[in-house]
Amino acid sequence: MALFVDWSVVEIGDLCEDFLFFMSLVLLQISNILKSRFFTNALCFLYVFYIALETTSYIAISTNFTSSYMFLLIESNQRELSEFVSSYINFKIILFLILMGISFLIIKKIKFENKNFVKQGLGIFIFLGIIAALKFTGLIEKNAYYNTVRGVYGYFDLQNSVNFNSKLSKEDIKVSSNNEVLVFVLGESTTRRHMQLYGYSRETTPLLNSIEDRLFVYDNVISTDVFTLKVVPKMITSLDETNTRTTVTSLVQVFNNAGFKTFWLANQRPISYHDNAINKIASYCYDHKFYNYKDDVYTNILDEVVLSDYSEILKEPGKKVIFIKLLGTHFNYSKRYPKSFAKFLSDEKSNKEDKLTNQYDNAVLYNDFIVYTLIKELENTNTKSTLLYLSDHGENVYHEGTDFFGRNEQRLTKSMFEIPFFVWTSKTFDFPEAFQYQRKRAFMTDHIYESVSHLLGVKHKDMDFTRSIFSKNFKKRKRIIVNGIDFDNSF
Ligand SMILES: [Zn+2]
């Protein structure tokens, strides 16, 4: 490990934990409780694999193997996962894994002999003592196996924690406008820092800039979390960062009962169709479509895949709400845009950081084209309509002197939360009561639920419109993000 890892990123606590974990396994071995060869080998494998997990994670993302890392792995679908792995596999990691394989074969041969029953008993006693000590000191949080279990448990716990309100009825909802169409565009991994619309030095959003005077642009909106599966349910349901286990109402249900036809178009694959909270929300729509089912073959489905169905839906008569979940600027950045959008180019002299930044900016440029096209098509319908665009969360692309890209709950950066948020309205749009535009309003996306309803002039009886970013009665609040951090005081 010493040869491979940048020691400045290794935590002392993790080293202590590694040592104690090692001791506990040796003790278990010496105590001879199971004498079979198989048990000895299994224990040895367990240890070698453990070292491999931790070290590769230090090499790849400069941090310990945590439960949030595990969460990220489960959250990704197979295609994203292979892109993720391919981006992190490098020479160091391969060499390290080979060495670990060899050391497994060597350690496996060492024989521990111990026929003294008193010593055996003592061994087991100390083993249990070490495990208890790990638990009580909190050092167990550093253990890769512990984190694997915790990450998997956390994932399923989250998915099962959302129970939808089944008693919603038309009587609970008041509609006070004649608006006809809402398009809710949910971007992916796009930080506003890379958007020209927000002052980025590169021309990454020329089309949106050309219609800037038609947009209500907000420049102090943040996400609650850095993972899609944690963020999206809080956005489009009554769930917010304060209540985690409760019966919730989703925007889809609200609009269904307010007389809108609801649609869900997603250029993302349902991870496991029935368990995932986002897919559950989508399934309440009148019609929903996921474009990424066969993703092992079509490894780079571009966001334009949603456009033809979008046009068809817009032609249908009647009031409607269309949710569009893009793949946006999700890693692998280089696969998010067609060649014609490769405007920022790298050469042989570019390092990894420059290359990825260029790719990311090209993906932002393509995203500009997609969102602009969605707006123009909507404008052509000549209806009382509005389109709202925001990203689920941001992305760290080597910002603030960091040496990594992506998202990680253990190494939070400001840009993982700073998202674009703007609204386009048609000339005939029927603005709701108490509408007010304040560009600099400090807002967090768990109150999108109330804001979008307010914008459309649709109100469920339990909604509090002082949460709406569009309201002149908007109440400012503390913005508490993941891990209980106060965003405005911490960054
Ligand atoms: Zn996401």
pLDDT tens-place values along the chain, 491 residues long: 444 555 555 566 666 777 777 777 776 666 666 666 677 777 777 777 777 777 777 776 666 676 666 666 665 555 556 666 666 666 767 777 777 777 777 766 665 555 666 666 776 777 777 777 777 776 776 777 777 777 777 667 666 667 788 788 899 999 999 999 999 999 999 999 999 999 999 999 999 999 999 999 999 999 999 988 889 989 999 988 776 657 889 999 999 999 999 999 988 765 544 446 787 888 889 998 877 654 433 447 899 999 999 999 999 999 999 999 999 998 889 989 999 999 999 998 889 999 999 999 999 999 999 999 999 999 999 999 999 999 999 999 999 888 888 888 888 999 999 999 999 999 999 999 999 999 999 999 999 999 999 999 999 999 999 999 999 999 999 999 998 999 999 98
255 Cα: distance to centroid of ligand 1 (angstroms): 24
- How far is the centre of ligand 1, averaged over its atoms, from the C-alpha of 81 (Å)? 14
Q: Tell me which of 113, 140, 158 is where a domain ends.
A: 158
Q: Supply the pTM of this predicted model.
A: 0.75
253 lies in the same domain as 368: yes
| CA 329 to centroid of ligand 1, rounded, Å | 9
> Is 58 contained in some domain?
yes
Find the 417 Cα to ligand 1 centroid distance in Å.
11
115: amino acid identity, one letter: K
Same structural domain, 136 and 203: no
- HSE-CB for 50 with a 13 A CA cutoff: 20
Q: Quote the ligand 1 centre to 334 CA distance (angstroms).
A: 17
| Contact of 336 with 308, CB cutoff 8 Å | no
Is position 2 within any domain?
Answer: no
Chain-centre distance of CA 89, in angstroms? 22
Say how many domains are in the chain: 2
Question: Where does a domain end: 158, 178, 196?
Answer: 158
The answer to whether the bond into 332 is cis (omega within 30° of 0) is yes
Q: 354's torsion region: left (phi>0), alpha (psi -120 to 50) or beta?
A: alpha
Would you state the structure tokens that stand for residue 82, as one six-digit string?
A: 């292979």
In a domain, 151, yes or no: yes
Distance 52 CA to ligand 1 centre (A): 28
Distance from Cα 55 to the centre of ligand 1, integer Å: 26
Do both 298 and 340 map to the same domain?
yes
CA 279 – CA 288 distance, rounded (Å) = 9
Same domain assignment for residues 252 and 336? yes
Ligand 1 centroid, distance to 235 Cα (angstroms): 12
CATH of the domain at 409: 3.40.720.10
436 lies in some domain: yes
Q: If you measure from the C-alpha of residue 397 to the centroid of ligand 1, how many angstroms do you get, rounded to a whole number?
A: 14
Going from the Cα of 229 to the center of ligand 1, the distance in angstroms, rounded, reads 7
Pair (118, 202) in one structural domain: no
Query: Could you say which of 137, 158, 179 is where a domain stops?
Result: 158
Tell me if 1 is assigned to some domain: no
Per-residue model confidence (pLDDT) at position 143: 74
Q: Do 216 and 277 share a structural domain?
A: yes
Report how far ligand 1's centroid is from the alpha carbon of 86 (Å): 19
Is the same domain home to 223 and 91?
A: no
Full residue range of the structural domain in which residue 30 is found = 7-158
- In the reported structure, the alpha carbon of residue 30 is separated from the centroid of ligand 1 by a whole-number distance in angstroms of 47
> How far, in Å, is the centroid of ligand 1 from the Cα of 393?
6
pLDDT at 77: 57
Cα(234)–Cα(272) distance, rounded to whole angstroms? 19
- Interval between CA 279 and ligand 1 midpoint (Å): 14
Q: State in Å: Cα 113 to ligand 1 middle.
A: 52
Same domain? 285 vs 429: yes
CB atoms closer than 10 angstroms to residue 333: 24
Q: Is residue 430 part of a domain?
A: yes
Is the same domain home to 136 and 180? Answer: no
CA of residue 322 to ligand 1 center, whole Å: 19
User: Which pLDDT value is given to residue 153?
Assistant: 72
Closest CA to 190 of 72, 77, 326: 326
DSSP letter string over 245-292? SEEE-BHHHHHHHTT-EEEEEESS--SSTTT-HHHHHHHTSSEEEES-
Tell me the residues surrounding ligand 1 (ion) with CB < 5 Å.
188, 228, 392
**CA atoms of 80 and 86, how far apart (whole Å):** 10
pLDDT of residue 10: 59
According to DSSP, the residues that pair with 485 across neighbouring strands are: 481
- Which residues, 6+ apart, have CB-to-CB distance to 110 below 8 Å? none
- Say if residue 195 is in the same domain as residue 133: no
d(CA 75, CA 423): 29
Decide if 204 contacts 368 (C-beta within 8 A): yes
Distance, CA of 251 to CA of 13 (rounded, Å): 44
d(CA 476, CA 470): 12
Torsion angle of alpha carbons 235, 240, 241, 244, nearest 10°? Answer: -120
Q: Distance between alpha carbon 103 and the CA centroid of its chain, in Å?
A: 37
Tell whether 116 and 183 lie within a shared domain. Answer: no
Candidates 225, 206, 209; CA nearest to 217 is 209
Structure tokens at 16: 């202590």
Ligand 1 center to 188 CA (angstroms): 5
- CA 429 – ligand 1 centroid, Å: 30
**What count of residues does the chain have?**
491
Kindly give the distance from the C-alpha atom of residue 211 to the centroid of ligand 1, in angstroms, as a whole number.
26
Do both 208 and 252 map to the same domain?
yes
Residue 424: its pLDDT value, please?
Answer: 98
**How far, in Å, is the centroid of ligand 1 from the Cα of 296?**
20
Cα 461 to middle of ligand 1, angstroms? 31
| Cβ–Cβ under 8 Å, residues 398 and 357 | yes
